[in-house]
Structure 1
Amino acid sequence: RNNFNLRHVGDLAFAGIKDFHVLDLSRSMITYLPTEGLIDIRELVIEETPSLKQFPSVFKFSQIETARLTYKHHCCAFRHPDKQDPAESSLLELTGRTSACAAQNQMITPSTASQPDTSPTFGPTGVFRIRRASRGSILSSTPNSHNDTKWVTCGNFSSPKNYSRVMCTPQPNAFNPCEDLMGYEWLRVFVWFVLLAALGGNLIVIIVLLTARSKLTVPKFLMCNLSFADFLMGLYLLLIASVDVHFLGEYFTHAVSWQNDGGCQVAGFLTVFASELSVFVLTVITMERWYAISQAIHVNKRLRMRQATGLMFFGWIYASSMALLPLFGVSGYGAVSICLPMEARDVWDIVYIISLLIFNGFAFMVISGCYISMFLKVRASENMARSNDATIAKRMAILVLTNFICWAPIAFFGLTASFGHPLIDITNSKILLVFFYPFNSCANPFLYAILTKQFRKDFFILLGRYGFCTDRANKYK
Structure 2
Amino acid sequence: MAVYMIIIAGVDLYYRGVYATFAEVWKTSFLCSFAGSIATLSSECSVFILMLMSVDRAIMIVYPYSSIRLNRKNCIKIVGIAWAVVIFISFLPMFNHISFINIPYFGGNYYGRQSVCLALPLTRDRLPGWEYAISIFIAFNLFGFVVIAVSYISIYICVKRKASRVKRSRRRAREIKMATKMAMIVLTDFCCWFPIILMGIGSEVGAWKLPADIYAWSATFILPINSSLNPYLYTIAYKCDNKKKSPTQVAIEMRSVRSRPLPP
Distance 1:421 1:322, change over 3 A: farther
Contact 1:295/1:301 (<8 A) preserved: no
Contact 1:287/1:370 (<8 A) preserved: yes
What is the rounded CA distance, in whole Å, between the counterparts of 1:393 and 1:307 in structure 2? 30
One-letter identity of the residue aligned with 2:35: A
What is the rounded CA distance, in whole Å, between the counterparts of 1:259 and 1:347 in structure 2? 15
Q: Deviations over 1:347-387 (max 9, x none)?
A: 86232122011000000000111111111100001266xx8
| Corresponding residue SS for 1:334 | helix
One-letter identity of the residue aligned with 2:112: G
Contact 1:281/1:312 (<8 A) preserved: yes
Partner residue in 1 for 2:209: 423
Contact 2:156/2:179 (<8 A) preserved: yes
Q: Which has the higher contact order (CA 8 A, sep 6+)?
A: 2
Shift of the alpha carbon at 1:421?
A: 6.8
What is the rounded CA distance, in whole Å, between the counterparts of 1:392 and 1:311 in structure 2? 28
Partner residue in 1 for 2:72: 305
What is the rounded CA distance, in whole Å, between the counterparts of 1:406 and 1:301 in structure 2? 30
| Corresponding residue SS for 2:40 | helix
Residue 119 (structure 2) pairs with residue 341 (structure 1): yes
Distance 1:335 1:429, change over 3 A: closer
Q: Deviations over 1:406-452 (max 9, x none)?
A: 11111122234445776222223322322222111111011111122
Partner residue in 2 for 1:414: 200
Residue 111 (structure 2) pairs with residue 367 (structure 1): no
Question: 32, 40, 50: which is aligned to 1:272?
Answer: 40
Residue 130 (structure 2) pairs with residue 350 (structure 1): yes
Contact 2:93/2:106 (<8 A) preserved: yes
Contact 2:36/2:117 (<8 A) preserved: yes
Contact 2:156/2:178 (<8 A) preserved: no
Shift of the alpha carbon at 1:324?
A: 2.2
Contact 1:293/1:389 (<8 A) preserved: no
One-letter identity of the residue aligned with 1:247: Y
What is the rounded CA distance, in whole Å, between the counterparts of 1:395 and 1:403 in structure 2? 13
What is the rounded CA distance, in whole Å, between the counterparts of 2:32 and 2:205 in structure 1? 24
Distance 1:389 1:364, change over 3 A: farther
- Counting only pairs closer than 5 Å after superposition, residues 10-409 of structure 1 correspond to structure 2 as 233-296=1-64, 298=65, 302-327=69-94, 328=103, 329-330=105-106, 332-342=110-120, 346=126, 349-356=129-136, 357-382=138-163, 391=177, 394-409=180-195
Distance 1:351 1:428, change over 3 A: closer
Shift of the alpha carbon at 1:300?
A: 6.8
Give the paired residue count.
223
What is the rounded CA distance, in whole Å, between the counterparts of 2:69 and 2:159 in structure 1? 18
What is the rounded CA distance, in whole Å, between the counterparts of 1:302 and 1:394 in structure 2? 26
One-letter identity of the residue aligned with 1:341: A
One-letter identity of the residue aligned with 1:337: S
If the length of structure 2 is used for normalisation, what is the TM-score? Answer: 0.74
What is the rounded CA distance, in whole Å, between the counterparts of 2:179 and 2:81 in structure 1? 26
The higher radius of gyration belongs to 1
Shift of the alpha carbon at 1:293?
A: 0.6
What is the rounded CA distance, in whole Å, between the counterparts of 2:133 and 2:208 in structure 1? 14
Structure 2 gap ranges (5+) = 95-102, 244-264
Distance 1:342 1:373, change over 3 A: closer
Q: Deviations over 1:52-104 (max 9, x none)?
A: xxxxxxxxxxxxxxxxxxxxxxxxxxxxxxxxxxxxxxxxxxxxxxxxxxxxx
What is the rounded CA distance, in whole Å, between the counterparts of 2:178 and 2:74 in structure 1? 22
Distance 1:282 1:403, change over 3 A: same
Which structure carries more strand by proportion?
1
What is the rounded CA distance, in whole Å, between the counterparts of 2:128 and 2:25 in structure 1? 26
Shift of the alpha carbon at 1:403?
A: 0.9
One-letter identity of the residue aligned with 1:338: V
If the length of structure 1 is used for normalisation, what is the TM-score? Answer: 0.43
| Corresponding residue SS for 1:367 | helix
One-letter identity of the residue aligned with 1:252: A
Distance 1:413 1:375, change over 3 A: same
What is the rounded CA distance, in whole Å, between the counterparts of 2:180 and 2:120 in structure 1? 36
Contact 1:335/1:342 (<8 A) preserved: no
What is the rounded CA distance, in whole Å, between the counterparts of 1:240 and 1:400 in structure 2? 28
What is the rounded CA distance, in whole Å, between the counterparts of 1:411 and 1:285 in structure 2? 22
Partner residue in 1 for 2:262: none
One-letter identity of the residue aligned with 1:330: F
| Corresponding residue SS for 2:149 | helix
Cα RMSD over matched residues? 2.9
What is the rounded CA distance, in whole Å, between the counterparts of 1:456 and 1:256 in structure 2? 52
Distance 1:347 1:336, change over 3 A: closer
| Corresponding residue SS for 2:223 | coil
